[in-house]
Amino acid sequence: MGKDQGMLPWKEVPFGVYIMEPGNSAQFKTGNWRSLRPELDKEKCVKCGTCYIMCPDMCYDQQDEEGYYLVNLFYCKGCGICAAVCPKGAITMVVEEV
Amino acid sequence: MGKRIAKEVSIAIADAVKLARAEVIAAYPITPQTHIVEHLSELVANGELDAEYITVESEHSAISAALGAVATGARTFTSTSAQGLALMHEILFIAPALRLPVVMVVANRALSAPISIWNDHSDIMAERDIGWIQMWAENGQEAVDLVIQAFRIAEDRNVMFPTIVNIDGFTLSHVIEPVELPDQEEVDAFLPPFRPKYKLDPRKPLTMGPVGVPEIYFEAKRAQDEAFRSARRVINRIWKDWAKRFGREYNAVETYRMEDAEVALMILGSMAETAMTAVDKMREAGKKVGLIRLRLWRPFPVQEFRKAVAGLPVLAVIDRALCIGGVGGPLGTEVRAALYAAARRPRVVNFIAGLGGRDITVEDFEEMADRAAFYRKKRPKEAYEYIGVREV
């Protein structure tokens, strides 16, 4: 999981707002854009990996020891695609409580 | 030191760009800027200037190509006027935010409509807040000097902001003046090659111009403003170096016969030449009139300006542009704002003159000085007054 480096004070903003290292978007937290969170029902899940394939932000990038796909909430924006495409209806979008 | 020769100012500016060893020129011809870029294209075509001349289909493309070029670390020049400058508008804001130090000469011309190819300042005043360093040339020599200085200022690692040199269309661009072009060796000694700390280079990739989400946009603009303001010190240092090498002094604010002045005329650009003649004439007639000229417009030299008007009773600010529906001309409103917090300030009388190529004559300057003197005791009724418009 990355560390959020987006909240800099103005004196630390890089020259010209350049991104000096390519690929550093991995460090940018998008999880706080989310209003709905995917929840997995392991009773229904068959570990097919459709969520992993279809997630536009590649949030299902890890599996636990039993092989279930884990959502990375640092990046997950709560778009709900995983829940919509899950062939077993194992993923439910629930309201994110603040 | 170079020889003083008679040259059309546009041609002299192109020669100055050559002396600065510009590496990329991207421009679209438009009156009254045409001779500058025409001559540059000749210099490149004849092999006299080793540069890439990018012919483009519009000013929007000219400035876009220029920014791409300067981002790769090439010394880059462009030039335009009026509608061309307006067409560049959205890209103009991007250059300083990305710290891309392109140098541009704007041959000032009235914006349409009615269609006018003639001089006033409405084109550049519409681009007042783009975040470029902006200077005004009074004559041909100054245009040449400022163009060479502009590259050094813009490209200084403690500046890295694009820079505009304003020259009045026709009254400067198309006149033949005695101009001294410095020798190549002298310019080379003054202006080192452009070596930016960051540039677009496939061997060392970086991203210029990423999205600024609400979490960073505000901080980015705050940082840009601060960096821009601190460029003042560098500009002064470079002008001192220029004076030492070439013997011609440059200041952010120039004054003329301001000792014991009761009324001062304040102008931008080439108007100064006529205004000085008017001041001399009025001084001979015993009127205590002086002249203040702003050479540096952005960043606005607040301290130098306040010093120039210290103890002055009345300041007549002459605008060659109109803010329709506003509270004064662009220079007039800015001057009033700069003086508002000052402990002692002159009464500011704002005149709008010389729109769309209307000459501002010696007599016009005399009339403005007289009207301003009248307002020393009596507050003007209007926020600004017109000079040189037919009433009947």
N residues, chain A: 98
Q: How many Å apart are CA B351 and CA B387, to the nearest integer?
A: 7
Is the confidence at residue A22, as pLDDT, over 90? no
The answer as to whether A51 is a domain residue is yes
Q: What are phi and psi of B348, to 5 degrees?
A: -100, 125
Is the confidence at residue A98, as pLDDT, over 80? no
Averaged pLDDT for residues B33-49: 98
Q: In chain A, what residues touch B218 (CB-CB under 8 Å)?
A: 10
Q: In chain A, what residues touch B97 (CB-CB under 8 Å)?
A: 16-17
Amino acid, single-letter form, for residue B121: H
Mean of per-residue pLDDT scores for chain B = 97
Task: Kindly state whether B98 is in contact with chain A, defined as any CB-CB distance less than 8 angstroms.
Answer: yes
pLDDT given at position A21 = 85
The Cα-based distances of B302 to B85, B299, B341 in angstroms read 27, 9, 11
The answer as to whether A66 is a domain residue is yes
The ipTM estimated for the assembled molecules is 0.89
Is the confidence at residue A36, as pLDDT, over 90? yes
pLDDT given at position A5 = 58
Averaged pLDDT for residues B65-72: 98
The answer as to whether A5 is a domain residue is no
User: What is the CATH number assigned to the segment(s) B253-387?
Assistant: 3.40.50.920
**A10:B215 CB<8 A:** no
Q: What are phi and psi of B318, to 5 degrees?
A: -105, 120
The answer as to whether A58 is a domain residue is yes
Task: Kindly state whether B201 is in contact with chain A, defined as any CB-CB distance less than 8 angstroms.
Answer: no
**pLDDT category of residue B1 using cuts at 50, 70 and 90:** low
The answer as to whether A48 is a domain residue is yes
Question: pLDDT tens digits for B80-123?
Answer: 999 999 999 999 999 999 999 999 999 999 999 999 999 999 99
Determine what percent of chain B falls in helix, strand and coil, rounding each to the nearest 5: 40, 20, 40
The answer as to whether A16 is a domain residue is no
Averaged pLDDT for residues B149-156: 98
Find all residues with CB under 8 Å of A95, minimum gap 6, and list them: A35, A36, A37
Instruction: Give the N- to C-terminal CA distance of chain B in Å, as an integer.
Output: 53
For chain B, the domains span 4-246, 253-387
Share of chain B above pLDDT 90, in %: 98
CATH class of residue range B4-246: alpha beta
Averaged pLDDT for residues B157-184: 98
Number of domains composing chain A: 1
Q: How many Å apart are CA B321 and CA B368, to the nearest integer?
A: 16
Question: pLDDT tens digits for B16-40?
Answer: 999 999 999 999 999 999 999 999 9
Averaged pLDDT for residues B168-182: 97
**pLDDT category of residue A7 using cuts at 50, 70 and 90:** confident
Q: In chain B, what residues touch A13 (CB-CB under 8 Å)?
A: 216, 219-220, 222-223
pLDDT given at position B3 = 85
Is the confidence at residue A49, as pLDDT, over 50? yes
**pLDDT category of residue A60 using cuts at 50, 70 and 90:** very high
Is the confidence at residue A91, as pLDDT, over 80? yes
**pLDDT category of residue A23 using cuts at 50, 70 and 90:** confident
**B226:A10 CB<8 A:** yes
Q: How many Å apart are CA B204 and CA B122, to the nearest integer?
A: 42
Are the C-beta atoms of B263 and B288 separated by less than 8 Å?
yes
Range of the domain at A64: 30-95
**B216:A18 CB<8 A:** no
Nearest CB partner across the interface for B220, out of A13, A21, A22: A13
The CATH number of residue A40's host domain is 3.30.70.20
**A11:B212 CB<8 A:** no
**B97:A15 CB<8 A:** no
Nearest CB partner across the interface for B215, out of A7, A17, A18: A7
Task: Pull the structure tokens for residue B192.
Answer: 């080192």
pLDDT given at position B352 = 98
Q: How many Å apart are CA B217 and CA B76, to the nearest integer?
A: 27
The Cα-based distances of B340 to B37, B138, B242, B336, B337 in angstroms read 42, 28, 34, 6, 5
pLDDT given at position A54 = 97
**B198:A10 CB<8 A:** no
Is the confidence at residue B329, as pLDDT, over 90? yes
Q: Under an 8 Å CB criterion, which residues of A touch B? A: 6-11, 13, 15-22
Best residue of A8, A13, A19 to probe chain B, by most B CBs closer than 10 Å: A13
**A15:B207 CB<8 A:** no
Compute how many other C-beta atoms are within 10 angstroms of the C-beta atom of residue B304.
18
Is the confidence at residue A1, as pLDDT, over 80? no
Averaged pLDDT for residues B361-389: 97
Question: What pTM does this model have?
Answer: 0.91
pLDDT given at position A2 = 45
